[in-house]
């Protein structure tokens, strides 16, 4: 199997890290670790001053592969869930500790853990056609990947409650208005505008840019580690419920869940 990500270092000192698991770039420890490895490798590299996180295929990252054949996601409830979740959530903390500024080019769905992945970036460029959703409550489980921290930091407590408690899907315009994204552009311009934004940062003094980025994100990785410990415990607890089983079954059958609170 080919590498889960590729890296293209451009002459303008912007590195494009592209997820290569089309069409949906489903969430997995291997994907998250590969992204973290790539972004960490840029620190101290004079050829890279800013990065873009992009994706091949229809989706940015559509979250869990609930149809199976996935390899592990933050919605797993089986016997391997603990080790899978630990790897995913350590990856989340690593992404939040990256000093190089990252612009996420969200051209398509960013769902569940995929939304969490997008929110680890410094900034996000999207389009009306994209979809943003933390659909965990519709699955009968708890959110994860540090959304407890990253989501309210961007949209405030009320915005986070709206996103998490409804499980609603927001298009790119709605997501930008809410604060989930920073720039909404035509669909065919998402990556180019993300690269242009990263290049604008790369023109500046690199030591200053990294220092400012570290200051803005000071303590974020530690807070995400603490939050994911709680998120993982709640996912394990709720994953054993009838509602979680019904939520996953409902998704596989393409219907709304019928939940009993058990």
Dihedrals phi, psi of 60, to nearest 5 degrees: -70, -60
- pLDDT-derived band at 36, boundaries 50, 70, 90: very high
**Cβ burial 111-139 (10 Å sphere, 16+ → b, else e):** bbbbbbbbbbbbbbbbbeebbbbbbbbbb
Minimum mean pLDDT among 12-21, 67-76, 127-136: which range? 67-76
CA nearest neighbour of 189 among 202, 172, 169? 172
For 202-220, write each residue's pLDDT tens digit.
999 999 999 999 999 999 9
142-184: pLDDT as tens digits: 999 999 999 999 999 999 999 999 999 999 999 999 999 999 9
| CB of 56 closer than 8 Å to CB of 19 | yes
Decide: helix, strand or coil at residue 95.
helix
User: What CATH homologous superfamily does 5-189+202-212 map to?
Assistant: 2-enoyl-CoA Hydratase; Chain A, domain 1 (3.90.226.10)
For residue 49, give Cα distances in angstroms to 40, 104, 176, 205, 229.
12, 15, 25, 9, 32
Q: Where are the domains of the chain?
A: 5-189+202-212
pLDDT at 69: 45
Q: What is the mean pLDDT of the chain?
A: 94
**Phi, psi angles (nearest 5°) of residue 182:** -105, -25
- Sheet harboring 131-133: ordered strands across? 110-111, 131-133, 170-171
| pLDDT at position 78 | 42
Percent of the chain with pLDDT over 90: 89
The pTM of the full predicted model, rounded to 2 decimals, is: 0.94
The model's confidence at residue 81, banded by pLDDT at 50, 70 and 90, is: low
């Amino acid at each position: 199997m080919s590498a889960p990500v590729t890296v293209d270092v451009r002459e303008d000192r912007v590195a494009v890290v592209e997820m290569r698991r089309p069409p949906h770039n489903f969430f997995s420890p291997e994907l998250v670790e590969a992204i973290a490895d790539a972004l960490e490798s840029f620190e101290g590299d004079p050829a890279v001053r800013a990065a873009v996180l992009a994706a091949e295929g229809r989706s940015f990252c559509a979250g869990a592969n609930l149809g199976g054949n996935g390899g592990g996601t933050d919605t797993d409830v089986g016997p391997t869930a603990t080790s899978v979740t630990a790897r995913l959530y350590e990856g989340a903390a690593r992404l939040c500790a990256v000093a190089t500024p990252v612009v996420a080019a969200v051209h398509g769905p960013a769902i569940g853990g995929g939304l969490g992945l997008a929110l680890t970036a410094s900034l996000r460029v999207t389009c009306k056609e994209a979809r943003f959703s933390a659909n965990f409550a519709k699955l009968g489980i708890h959110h994860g990947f540090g959304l407890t921290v990253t989501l309210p930091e961007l949209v405030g407590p009320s915005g986070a409650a709206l996103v998490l408690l409804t499980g609603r899907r927001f298009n790119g315009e709605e997501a930008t208005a809410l604060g989930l994204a920073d720039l909404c552009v035509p669909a065919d311009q998402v990556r180019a505008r993300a690269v242009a934004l990263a290049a604008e940062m790369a023109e500046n003094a690199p030591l200053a840019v990294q220092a400012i980025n570290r200051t803005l994100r000071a303590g974020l990785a530690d807070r995400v580690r603490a939050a994911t410990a709680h998120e993982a415990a709640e996912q394990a607890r709720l994953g054993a419920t009838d509602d979680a089983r019904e939520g996953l079954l409902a998704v596989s059958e393409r219907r709304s869940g019928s939940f009993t609170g058990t």
